[in-house]
Amino acid sequence: MKPFSPQQVFFEPDAFEYPLGKKLSKYFLSTGVPVIKLKNNRVPTLHKDDPQRRFLEGKKTLVIGVKQSFRFESCRPSADYQFPLVTGCPGLCQYCYLQTRMAESPYIRMYVNIDAILDSVAKQIEKKPDLTTFEISSTSDPLYTEHLSGAVAKTIEFFGNQPQGRLRLVTKTDLVDSLLDLNHNQHTRFRFSLNTKNLIQKLEANTANLSKRLTAASKIAKANYPLGFIIAPVYLYPNWQDEYLALLEEVQKQNFTSLSFEIISHRFTNKAREVILERFPHTILDLDTDKRQPKYGPYGHIKHMYSKDELKEIRDFFNTHINRLFPEAIIEYSI
C-alpha cells in the first residue's frame, strides 16, 4: 500500500522552529501541496454543514504541530501508558473508536518535537523501579506518516537503549521496510491488527490486505522483533467461526515462533453509533443496541457489548484454537 499523501497541510506557528518542521515545510512546498500557515494552533472547521464531506476531507488533511502536554494516560490492558507521535489516522475502518474520539477533527496531526516527547518518556521510565511499557498506536497508526517524519524509527531506537522501557506498536499497513535494520534490542513488540478477509474487505478501507500484513509480519519476525497479533474487533456474523479459524490457519502457515495474541470483541457507544451511521449509511455493522448488553464506563459512558454468553463463546473459541495451532504463543488478554 502507499504511504499517506495529504491533499493539504496546515502548520502550527511553532512548528517552524523545529528542524523537522522546516524540513517538512520545504518538502511540501516543493511538491505543490497547498500549505496553510495557521495564526494559532486551532485548525479551522472543515465544511461545518456537511459532516460526511468534513470527515473525508479531514482524512486527507495533515497538521504539522508541536505537542504541548506530556501527561501520560493509562493504556490498559495493552500497556502501562500511551503517548502519541501522531493523532488521527488515514485508515477508513468503520468500527474504529477514533470515529468518536476525533469526530469533529478527523485530520491527521503529526508532532515535530520528537526529542521533547522522548525526554518526557525517559523521565516517566525513571519514576518506576520495574519495566514500564508504552503504546504509540492508541490515537493513530503511525506508520502511514513514517516516511515523512522518521519518528517511529527514532522512537524504536530510543527504546532499544532503555533497560527499563518497552515499546508497543500496532499497524494495519505493510509499511515496515524502513524499520527492519534498526537497533531495537528486542525492546519493541510489533503487532499487526488482523481480521477475517471478509471484514477487512468490507470494513477496513485504505489498509493493507491480509496477505500484505502477513508478509510484513514475516519481515518483522526476520528482523528479530517480538511479534504479536491483535484480532479486533471480533465481530459475530454468519459463519464467523469458520472465517476466524481460516484466519488463524493463515497465520499458522507463516511458521512464526514466540507470538502474542490480543483478542478484542466488537463494542460501540451511542455516540459511535450515531457517527458511524452518519458517515457510513450503508455499513454492514449491526449497531442494534437491543442485541447488546450495556457496560458502564468510569465516566458514565455506556459501551454496548456482546452478551456474557457470546463473550464466553468468543474467548473459548480463540483460546481453544490458538492453544492448538500456536502452543507456544501467549494470549495477553481477551476482552
Residue 212 CA to residue 215 CA, distance in Å, equals 5
Domain 1-170, CATH 3.40.50.12110 — does that match? yes
Beta-bridge partner residues of 139: none
Tens-digit pLDDT string for the chain (335 aa): 889 999 999 999 999 999 999 999 999 999 999 999 998 878 877 766 777 788 888 899 999 999 998 888 888 899 999 999 999 999 999 998 877 666 667 889 999 999 999 999 999 999 988 999 999 999 999 999 999 999 999 999 999 999 999 999 999 999 999 999 999 999 999 999 999 999 999 999 999 999 999 999 999 999 999 999 999 999 999 999 999 999 999 999 999 988 999 999 999 999 899 989 988 999 999 999 999 999 987 666 799 999 999 999 999 999 999 999 999 999 999 99
- Going from N- to C-terminal start, the domains of the chain cover 1-170
Helices 51-58/270-279 angle, 10° precision: 90
CA angle 320, 323, 326 (to 5 degrees): 135
C-alpha cell of residue 78? 495493552
Are the beta carbons of 189 and 167 closer than 8 angstroms?
A: yes
C-alpha cell of residue 196? 477475517
Residue 243 CA to residue 275 CA, distance in Å, equals 28
Strands (E) in 237-282, as ranges, are 259-265, 268-269
Tell me 265's DSSP state: E
**DSSP string covering 35-74, please?**
EEE-SSSPPPPS-TT-HHHHHHHHTTEEEEE-----PPEE
Residue 105 CA to residue 277 CA, distance in Å, equals 17
- Say if residue 44 is exposed, middle or buried (CB neighbours under 10 Å; 0-12, 13-18, 19+): exposed
Are the beta carbons of 166 and 134 closer than 8 angstroms?
A: yes
Residue-wise pLDDT for 284-307, tens only, equals: 999 999 999 999 876 667 999 999
Which residues touch 255 (CB under 8 Å, ≥6 apart)? none
